[in-house]
Amino acid sequence: MILVRQHGESGPPALLGEWLELRGIPYHVSDSRDNGHVDPRDYEAVASLGCRYSPADADVPQVKSEIELIAKAVEHDVPVLGLCFGGQVLAHVLGGTIGPAPTPEFGWRAIETDEPDSIPTGPWLLWHYQRFTTPPGATEVARTKDATQAFRHGPHLGLQFHPESTTDIVAGWASKDREKLASIGITNGPELIEAPDERKEAARQAAFRLFDAFRGESA
């Protein structure tokens, strides 16, 4: 059973959920805004999704609870797959730093990867204002010119991009962020998400390869 941590309606499991169902893998979606107790030791792995907050917002109850849950998973060697916010929380728990990205990344990107079989070059959707540093003892395995995009630490994998998200989901973020984007000079946010069906399918296949590899390596 996989524990999927969702952090609001606008960040569903999407392609991750599709992959879990296609592979016949049982999973449970838990929202970090709920007050119910969830113990990661009851699961074979934890996948933590995207969120409008960052670990720097530890005064927000749902952020505090996610930091505590991921810390407990790491303490007990429950593999963690961190996706954007989830990757930042994992980096934070492991001693990395989180801060504003000098160049926020939005839309489609290809990444430079040291492990193309398990972490393909993409195409990937990115949508983040913050970035993490590779934690002590971890290994950076993918990057763009503007940020680390993936690191490994034991059975854990932290990502800065969104393999789980679809264009419809990220386009919704772009629409909500219009004013924030305009404040940093970006006026075409929704246009950055547009893509032909071929690119969308390539992203889906890349995501499935990544998820398959993570499960195989963390099993």
The packing angle between helices 85-93 and 61-75, to 10°, is 60
CA separation, residue 117 to residues 8, 152, 206 (Å) = 31, 15, 9
Tokens 């933590």 correspond to what residue? 48
Please answer whether residues 203 and 168 qualify as being in contact, where contact means their C-beta atoms are separated by less than 8 angstroms: no
Active-site residue, 7 included: no
- Is 51 among the catalytic positions? no
Q: Is the peptide bond before 123 cis (omega within 30 degrees of 0)?
A: yes
- Which amino acid does the sequence have at 14? A
What would the two tokens of residue 214 be? 């993570």
Q: Is 28 a catalytic residue?
A: no
Residue of 7, 51, 84, 105 marked active site = 84
Catalytic residue IDs: 84, 162, 164
